[in-house]
């Protein structure tokens, strides 16, 4: 019988007023979606914020990252030590597994923060490759127990009675020459801000934001997955038949969510917008866990016919390393009230599912149904 | 003005009577779907056959594979030479991009062979890694022009006026330590049969069957994609708005299909089967271009509720190397006429789309809508 945890939120960083705030303590907020895709690189102060407790107060000068577990030479690394590894710059989108959760709640109430489609942002991360660090630590073989890499933060989480946030990813993602897993100390060319993990965070490109652990304190190379709450009792996707009465038997039967699914969002116009009849520019984002986006399409007739949008996507020479989001836009002709629908195709010929109801799940995660935005027309509208 | 090509089909190999034959000349056939998933490894004589012309008559003793283009040391390799490289065994499913095309034709006629859901099979391939061969040939860097690897067959194709079948894949897929691209000389422990590429074929795990070129004669390392008909003017997926009047402007705007999408098929019972009311075992296959299958679900109520099936899947230690299909089964209770629906989820939280109509495309490729099989009940039925 545990009393509700009393955590100290008296020293939170200042934040911009542009956010839609889902929770003040811990602070969870997304930028308004009309601003979200204004820039290919999200300004740091607009980047969505996902926290599970008070923002830790850490000093770069006295902070260390421990590397332990299935390694021959455990390490204790300062920021200066990490800076001595070759520097790597990666542009990567982070997306919360709960992005677009509100659309699931319309079908049937789900548990979790009420995100719209702005729990996603794109930044340039600078740091060293975790691969280099683990090799310096003499990582053991899989047979010797190096199969998962666990990350533990310096924070204290509301959800699990004050334990630190933790997560793990498969060792192959880290050791992959094109995996690009970073220990990042820079975001958009500046030191990390407190909200985004100062002084050091993990960046796992192509994976849900939950694996890019902030305020990184310990790295444990392990034979099994992290047993942390956020790996084992959160961020799992069940079938629509699983409810609160039956969920206990399901936690161990589903895998933790890791790679991001195919996704797109309409950011302009916003839902319910009043627009002038005539040409209307529609724009938004798309991504697919590292896969190239082949095409984003927009329909004004419920999905019977589709218009191909213009796509701005990074040029990559290595397949399946499209870590950044891409932005798309199209001008369509709007004559009256209409539902604008967008869907994306990825380089493996996958397309987003049509409806939310058949992918509804208790935790409201990974909603990637066709994105639908209704608008109304008026001759006196500004848009 | 070219006269219809006259090709010689007088020396075709013998084939099993179990096939559903889509075309005799060239021979294209799929096993009946109730046999398809009887075994995890498809017997060679049941493996679907896809050809574009007469089966070449080649002799292992006198056949050579040329390796040329952006390499420092062009090679001419006999089967014996290929056997001198380390042997690698890979279990991999091959699936035709046109698998399940018939379900698209129901919506609106498409062009292509009328495949049901049996243009897919799973085998154990033995050969050498193409990576090792290209390294022996001194493959150049990307900057020096080694960006795509083209494969050319010894066959003569109906579609393109008698040119050889050709295709290419990105060099990164070949050089990836976990890419597993083979020059295969064995199928299920025996030398390749003539129908499956004797004496040497390519196996590109996780890619559409069209890239696993049979009767391999030449490998060209190139700066650009293959310009062959089957890379540039076939195996592309357009939006549903593209028709025969407008397709010419689209060929160069779509990428060649490479990786396989998320897919599953119900093999037992077959569509239209008469079954006894009561418990009914439903089974089939699932795959996702190398991604792990997280779950296959079956619905008897149009997708409102889903039952989780039992999954037989290879255990892999490296993510995204699930090259084999997996088989699934479930026993459900059938009380009357019903549509059995199956869908799969992959390890990146993607799910198959609900309906065929919104993914309909002119070439009828990559249909991976929920698979639907109607059955009727009768107390005197055998199943
Ligand atoms: Mo999240
Ligand atoms: Mo094919």
Q: pLDDT by residue (tens digit) across B285-329?
A: 999 999 999 999 999 999 999 999 999 999 998 999 999 999 999
Write out the DSSP string of A230-275: HHHSSS----TT--TTTGGGTGGGSPPP-BPPPEEEEEESPTT-EE
Measured between alpha carbons, how far is A195 from A213 in angstroms, rounded to an integer?
A: 12
The DSSP secondary-structure symbol of A357 reads G
**B282 close to B333: Cβ distance less than 8 angstroms:** no
The DSSP secondary-structure symbol of A204 reads -
Measured between alpha carbons, how far is B184 from A103 in angstroms, rounded to an integer?
A: 48
Q: How far, in Å, from the CA of B51 to the mean position of ligand 2?
A: 9
**A111 close to A132: Cβ distance less than 8 angstroms:** no
Across B139-152, average pLDDT: 98
Q: Do A349 and B178 count as a contact with CB atoms less than 8 A apart?
A: no
Q: Is B205 exposed, middle or buried (0-12, 13-18, 19+ CB in 10 A)?
A: buried
pLDDT band at B3 (very low <50, low <70, confident <90, very high): low
Return the closest-CA partner of residue A113 out of A372, A373, A364.
A364
Encode pLDDT of B70-103 as tens digits: 999 999 999 999 999 999 999 999 999 999 999 9
Q: Do B352 and A354 count as a contact with CB atoms less than 8 A apart?
A: no
The structure tokens listed for B379 are 């107390």
Encode pLDDT of B332-366 as tens digits: 999 999 999 999 999 999 999 999 999 999 999 99
Measured between alpha carbons, how far is A347 from B237 in angstroms, rounded to an integer?
A: 10
Residues of B in contact with A170 (CB under 8 A): 319
Encode pLDDT of B13-63 as tens digits: 999 899 999 999 999 999 999 999 999 999 999 999 999 999 999 999 999
Q: Which of A257, A345, A349 sits opposite B349 (nearest CB)?
A: A257
User: B324 in helix, strand or coil?
Assistant: coil
pLDDT recorded at residue B90: 98
Q: Which of A237, A303, A365 sits opposite B358 (nearest CB)?
A: A303
Across A163-171, average pLDDT: 97
Measured between alpha carbons, how far is A355 from A156 in angstroms, rounded to an integer?
A: 37
pLDDT recorded at residue B1: 35
**A201 close to A55: Cβ distance less than 8 angstroms:** no
- Looking at chain A, the whole-number percentage of residues with pLDDT higher than 70 is 99
Query: What's the distance, CA B156 to chain centroid?
Result: 20
Report the 10 Å Cβ neighbour count for B335.
9
Measured between alpha carbons, how far is A331 from A137 in angstroms, rounded to an integer?
A: 53
Phi-psi region of B215 (alpha: psi -120 to 50; beta: other; left: phi over 0): left
pLDDT recorded at residue A6: 86
Contacts of B219 (CB under 8 A, 6+ apart): B65, B66, B67, B68, B69, B130, B133, B134, B149, B150, B151, B152
Return the closest-CA partner of residue A340 out of A286, A262, A265.
A265
Res. B269: pLDDT tops 90: yes
pLDDT recorded at residue A4: 67
**A293 close to A326: Cβ distance less than 8 angstroms:** yes
Q: Do B348 and A318 count as a contact with CB atoms less than 8 A apart?
A: no
Distance linking the first and last C-alpha atoms of chain B? 55
The DSSP secondary-structure symbol of A161 reads T
Kindly report the pTM of this predicted structure: 0.96
The structure tokens listed for A283 are 């724009």
Res. A184: pLDDT tops 80: yes
Return the closest-CA partner of residue A289 out of A196, A211, A199, A175.
A211
Encode pLDDT of A232-291 as tens digits: 999 999 988 898 899 999 999 999 999 999 999 999 999 999 999 999 999 999 999 999
- Which of B173, B354, B358 to mutate: most A Cβ within 10 Å? B358
Q: What is the CA radius of gyration of chain B?
A: 21
pLDDT recorded at residue B6: 86
Encode pLDDT of B188-245 as tens digits: 999 999 999 999 999 999 999 999 999 999 999 999 999 999 999 999 999 888 988 9
**A42 close to A36: Cβ distance less than 8 angstroms:** yes
pLDDT band at A1 (very low <50, low <70, confident <90, very high): very low
Q: Do B258 and A308 count as a contact with CB atoms less than 8 A apart?
A: no
Res. A177: pLDDT tops 50: yes
Q: Do A241 and B358 count as a contact with CB atoms less than 8 A apart?
A: no
pLDDT recorded at residue A331: 98
Q: Which of A142, A261, A352 sits opposite B348 (nearest CB)?
A: A261
Across A179-208, average pLDDT: 98
Identify any residues that bridge with B126 across adjacent strands, giving them in sequence order. B89, B186
Compute the Cα dihedral for A359, A265, A325, B149 and give only its sign: positive
Q: Answer yes or no: is the ipTM higher than 0.90.
A: yes
**B373 close to B268: Cβ distance less than 8 angstroms:** no
Measured between alpha carbons, how far is B138 from B70 in angstroms, rounded to an integer?
A: 9
Q: Which of B239, B351, B355 sits opposite A297 (nearest CB)?
A: B239
User: Exposed e or buried b for every residue in A30-46, given b needs 16+ CB within 10 A?
Assistant: bbebebbbeebebebeb
Residues of B in contact with A347 (CB under 8 A): 255, 258-259
Chain B nearest-CA residue for A142: B317
Measured between alpha carbons, how far is B131 from B135 in angstroms, rounded to an integer?
A: 6
Chain B nearest-CA residue for A255: B294
pLDDT band at B108 (very low <50, low <70, confident <90, very high): very high
Measured between alpha carbons, how far is B149 from A370 in angstroms, rounded to an integer?
A: 36
In angstroms, the separation between the Cα of residue A48 and the nearest Cα of chain B is 22
Residues of A in contact with B345 (CB under 8 A): 237
Measured between alpha carbons, how far is A254 from A52 in angstroms, rounded to an integer?
A: 23
Contacts of B154 (CB under 8 A, 6+ apart): B56, B58, B63, B164, B215, B216, B217
pLDDT recorded at residue B4: 67
Q: Do B351 and A353 count as a contact with CB atoms less than 8 A apart?
A: yes
């Amino acid at each position: 019988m545990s009393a509700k945890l009393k955590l100290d939120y008296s020293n939170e960083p200042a934040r911009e007023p542009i956010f839609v705030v889902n929770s003040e303590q811990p602070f969870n907020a997304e930028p308004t979606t009309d601003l979200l895709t204004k820039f290919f690189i999200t300004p740091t102060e607009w980047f969505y914020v996902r926290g599970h407790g008070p923002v830790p107060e850490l000093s770069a000068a006295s902070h260390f990252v421990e590397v332990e577990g299935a390694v021959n030479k455990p390490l204790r690394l300062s920021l200066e030590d990490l800076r001595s590894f070759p520097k790597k710059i990666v542009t990567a989108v982070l997306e919360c597994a709960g992005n677009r959760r509100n659309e699931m709640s319309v079908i049937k109430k789900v548990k979790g923060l009420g995100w719209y489609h702005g729990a996603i942002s794109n930044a340039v991360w600078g740091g060293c490759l975790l691969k280099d660090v683990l090799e310096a630590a003499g990582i053991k073989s899989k047979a010797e127990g190096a199969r998962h890499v666990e990350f533990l933060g310096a924070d204290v989480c509301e959800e699990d009675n004050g334990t630190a946030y933790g997560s793990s990813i498969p060792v192959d993602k880290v050791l992959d020459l094109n995996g690009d897993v970073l220990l990042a100390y820079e975001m958009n060319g500046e030191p990390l801000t407190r909200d985004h993990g100062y002084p050091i965070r993990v960046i796992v490109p192509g994976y849900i934001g939950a694996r890019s652990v902030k305020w990184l304190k310990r790295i444990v190379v392990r034979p099994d997955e992290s047993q942390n709450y956020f790996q084992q009792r959160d961020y799992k996707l069940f079938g629509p038949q699983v409810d609160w009465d039956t969920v206990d038997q399901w936690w161990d039967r589903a895998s933790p969510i890791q790679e991001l699914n195919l996704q797109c969002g309409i950011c302009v116009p916003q839902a319910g917008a009043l627009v002038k009849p005539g040409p209307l520019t529609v724009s938004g984002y798309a991504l697919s866990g590292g896969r190239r986006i082949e095409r984003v399409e927009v329909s004004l007739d419920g999905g019977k016919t589709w218009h191909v949008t213009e796509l701005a996507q990074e040029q990559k020479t290595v397949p399946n390393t499209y870590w950044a989001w891409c932005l798309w836009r199209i001008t369509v002709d709007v004559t009256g009230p209409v539902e604008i629908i967008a869907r994306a195709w990825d380089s493996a010929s996958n397309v987003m599912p049509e409806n939310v109801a058949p992918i509804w799940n208790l935790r409201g995660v990974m909603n990637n149904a066709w994105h639908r935005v209704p608008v109304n027309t008026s001759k006196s509208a500004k848009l």
